[in-house]
Amino acid sequence: MFKPLRNDIVVRFDATKSFFSATRHLDGDNGATARGLVFIQIYAAYEYVVNSVVRIGIDCINAHEHKMKDLSKTLLALYLDSEFDSVRNSGQKNVWRARLNIFESAFSDKVIALPNNVRPPTDGNHYRRSHLDMILEVFGAGPLPISHQHLFKIDEIVNHRNQIAHGGETASEVGRRYTIGEVSDIIDQIHRICVSLVDVFEVFCANGSRHKRQQC
For 24-60, give the DSSP string. Answer: TT--HHHHHHHHHHHHHHHHHHHHHHHHHHHHHHHHH
Integer Cα distance of 142 and 211 in angstroms = 12
The pLDDT tens digits of the residues spanning 203-215 come to 999 999 999 998 6
What residue type is assigned to position 11 of the chain? V
SS3 67: strand
Q: Is 183 left (phi over 0), alpha (psi -120 to 50) or beta?
A: alpha
Mean pLDDT, rounded, of the chain = 95
The pLDDT tens digits of the residues spanning 43-65 come to 999 999 999 999 999 999 999 99
Residue 192 has phi, psi (to 5 degrees) of -65, -40
- Average the pLDDT over 131-147 and give the result: 95
The pLDDT tens digits of the residues spanning 60-93 come to 999 999 999 999 999 999 999 999 988 988 888 8
What does DSSP assign to residue 162?
Answer: H
Q: pLDDT band for 132, please (50, 70, 90 cuts).
A: very high
pTM for the full predicted model:
0.94
Integer Cα distance of 20 and 15 in angstroms = 9
pLDDT of residue 119: 87
Judged against a pLDDT cut of 70, whether residue 140 lies above it is answered with yes
The pLDDT tens digits of the residues spanning 90-114 come to 888 899 999 999 999 999 999 999 9
